[in-house]
Amino acid sequence: MSLIVFDLEWNIGYQPKTFLYHGAEQTLRGEIIQIGAVKVDETGRVLDTFSMDLKPRIFRKLQHHIAKVTGFTQKQMDAGVPIKEGLARFVKWCGPDARFGEWGMDDVPVLKQNLYLVGLDESWPAVWYDLQQIFLAQHPRGEGEGMTLESVITRLNIPTDRPFHDALSDALYTVDVCQRLDLKKGLEEYPDEESQLRSAACPPGPEYKKVECFFGYLEKETWREDPVLHDLRCPWCGGVMEAEVSPKATPEEEDKELWMRRGNNSYYGLCHCADCKKDAIIRFKLSRRDGLHWAVARVAEVPTEESRARWQKQKKLLAERLKKKSQTKAE
Ligand SMILES: [Zn+2]
């Protein structure tokens, strides 16, 4: 079975661009201006390569920072294959059952957004791997070691005679790294989307009683309203749990402020069980792996003295903030 190791360069706008994805507003992460891809077998042996410059339709002016990093010129971008045609050719080259490998997790979401915007099937590709994670699993990160492709290439003493931030060249460097891995094992052991979400939602430390995953939300904020997500059950006895209501300033803020933010895309609250009288910290961790759909993990965590204190402190700070806000509003 083959793997397509690929890399994209994309242009961004001077103003953010939003678009509607089945009615949900999304921010375009970037418009692809270059695709580099290498078909490899499970040992990392190169079978074929693909390289193409694309001419964007939306971000037509080359952003200066992108020009600096990639060495791209406006002239080169203008001379590219029109994006729709180029993407269609790439899709055909890859084949319908293609599995993708990329360094990091940024390229597939950008690819999917761009496929959607030119009217191609964005549900493809369905299977992709973050090769950085496979690398990390086999070469645990040392103190102070960078994880960019360039720093890993340097660390592995791979000759750097090609440029960086050229799509095909970066894809080939990624293949160089793959050849130094047990790629077959890495792909076989790679966690599926749910396992990834679970581990992101449960960092080591607290004791977790229950983790459940929900997929396919189009809008990030839907998690606040979805009755399924808010049917909170006690992880000990199954009874109904009530979230401790935070102090609120205005009725509009009621839903918004019930859950406190913790870390990146994570919200939590202390909840009480009316039946067994136990408390749990219920936390929602959001992730958007494909760039188009949100997934939510709902975690029930056993509160500790420390986490209770943190909750109380955050609640107090929030009360003060809301009070100030309502005073400003009144004035
Ligand atoms: Zn209970």
pLDDT above 80 (res 258): no
Compute the distance from residue 275 Cα to the ligand 1 centre, in Å. Answer: 5
> What's the CA-to-centroid distance between 150 and ligand 1, angstroms?
51
Q: What is the rounded distance in angstroms from the CA atom of residue 166 to the CA atom of residue 152?
A: 17
What pLDDT is attached to residue 281? 94
Q: How close is the Cα of 242 to the center of ligand 1, in Å?
A: 11
Task: Using the mean position of ligand 1's atoms as its centre, give its distance from the Cα of residue 236 in Å.
Answer: 5
CA of 247 to the centre of ligand 1 (A): 24
Domains of the chain: 3-190 (3.30.420.10), 194-330 (no CATH)
Q: What is the whole-number distance in angstroms between the Cα of residue 114 and the centre of ligand 1?
A: 47
Tell me how far the alpha carbon of residue 177 lies from the centroid of ligand 1, in angstroms.
50
| Beta-sheet strand order (sheet of 3-11) | 81-82, 46-55, 31-40, 3-11, 99-102, 127-130
Higher pLDDT, 219 or 246: 219
- Please determine, for residue 163, whether its predicted confidence score (pLDDT) is greater than 70: yes
Beta pairing class for 24-27 and 3-11 = unpaired
Averaged pLDDT for residues 90-105: 94
Residue with tokens 């076989």: 188
Q: Are 90 and 124 in contact (CB under 8 A)?
A: no
Other C-beta atoms within 10 Å of 300: how many? 21
273 CA from centroid of ligand 1 (Å): 5
Residue 253 CA to ligand 1 centre (angstroms): 28
Contact call for residues 56 and 77 (beta carbons, < 8 A): yes
Q: How confident is the model at residue 257 (pLDDT cuts 50, 70, 90)?
A: low
pLDDT digits (tens, 9 = 90+) for 289-311: 898 999 999 999 999 999 999 98
Q: How far is the CA of 298 from the centre of ligand 1 (A)?
A: 17
| Per-residue confidence (pLDDT) for residue 256, from 0 to 100 | 54
- What distance, in Å, lies between the first and last C-alpha atoms of the chain? 67
> Which pLDDT score is estimated for 221?
85
Q: Ligand 1 centroid to 248 CA: how many Å?
A: 26
Closest C-alpha to 174, from 102, 240, 75: 102
Q: How many angstroms does the Cα of residue 133 sit away from the middle of ligand 1?
A: 38
Give the range among 65-79, 239-253, 261-275, 285-299 with minimum mean pLDDT: 239-253
What radius of gyration, in Å, describes the C-alpha atoms of the chain? 23
Higher-confidence residue of 145 and 82: namely: 82
Cα 300 to ligand 1 centroid, rounded to whole Å: 12
Per-residue model confidence (pLDDT) at position 248: 55
Most confident of the following: 99-103, 267-271, 314-318: 99-103
Distance from Cα 281 to the centre of ligand 1, integer Å: 13
Residue 328 has pLDDT above 60, yes or no: yes
Q: Give the pLDDT band (50/70/90) at residue 253.
A: low
Task: Tell me what pLDDT residue 114 has.
Answer: 97
Q: Side chain identity at 285, as an amino acid letter?
A: K
User: Span 47-67, mean pLDDT?
Assistant: 96
